[in-house]
Structure 1
Amino acid sequence: MIADEMRERLQALQPTRLEVLDESEQHQGHSGWREGGQTHFRVRIAAPTLGDLSRVERHRLIHRTLGDIVPRIHALAIEASD
């Protein structure tokens, strides 16, 4: 499952809190939705490594950490803190 892959990769940021939520069912019928879900995700992460980064830099780091997962999904909401 994509959510499991995301959790595994995000461990590299040594989070103190991590939630990966599949919100696909909330978007049924919307653009990018497909049967079986795994299209719309929300990541809530707190990690000291994010502390000195701007919001944009945090998002870029998370996208880089997720790597090839990002093109496989339609939407990713990120709530990041240190």
Structure 2
Amino acid sequence: MSTHSKPVPGPMEKLIRKNITDACNPTVLNIENESYKHRHHAAMRDVDSTETHFKVTVVSEMFSVQNRIQRQRFIYSLLKAEMAMEGGIHALTLVTKTPEEHKNVPKALKPDTR
């Protein structure tokens, strides 16, 4: 049994979750705070926020009428304010899939959604 637990979502992660959930009605939404991997970067030197870098996986039926670029632009537009704020999102990695596309992703490559 693993002793690792997911960290409690911070305010930025909660905003990301709310914005994407409200707009996309996702069947899968996985948000990974990867900020700890980037604390040593020069651009982060004077930043106190611990919520600046995220990897977000969104699976939504609405993506069936959008190509990959349109999907990513849409998600970026949802998070525009969070990306513009002081100490806000500095980097965002997106995986955007339809339910059909997600079904075809090998289980080993799917994010842990526990």
Whether these two folds match at TM > 0.5 is yes
In structure 2, the CA distance between the partners of 1:31 and 1:43, relative to structure 1 (3 Å rule), is farther
Give the superposed CA RMSD.
1.3
Distance in 1 separating the partners of 2:49 and 2:79 = 21
Contact kept? 1:39, 1:75, Cα under 8 Å: yes
Letter in 1 for 2:75: I
Show structure 2 runs of 5+ residues with no match: 1-10, 99-114
Q: What TM-score do you get using the length of structure 1 for normalisation?
A: 0.89
State the identity %: 27
What one-letter code is carried by the residue in structure 2 that aligns with 1:79? V
Q: Name stretches of at least 5 consecutive residues in structure 1 with no aligned partner.
A: none
Moved over 4 A (4+): none
1-structure distance, mates of 2:89, 2:43: 8
Q: Cα deviation per residue 1:29-49 (whole Å; 9 max; x = unaligned)?
A: 114333341111111110000
**Pairs aligned (count):** 82
**Secondary structure, aligned partner of 1:77:** strand
The yes-or-no answer on 1:41 pairing with 2:54 is: yes
Higher relative contact order (CA 8 A, sep 6+): 1
Which has the higher mean CA deviation after the structures are superposed, 69-78 or 4-13?
69-78
Structure with larger Rg? 2
Aligned: 1:73 with 2:89: yes
Aligned to 1:30: 41
Greater strand proportion:
1
Task: Describe the SS at the equivalent of 2:95.
Answer: strand
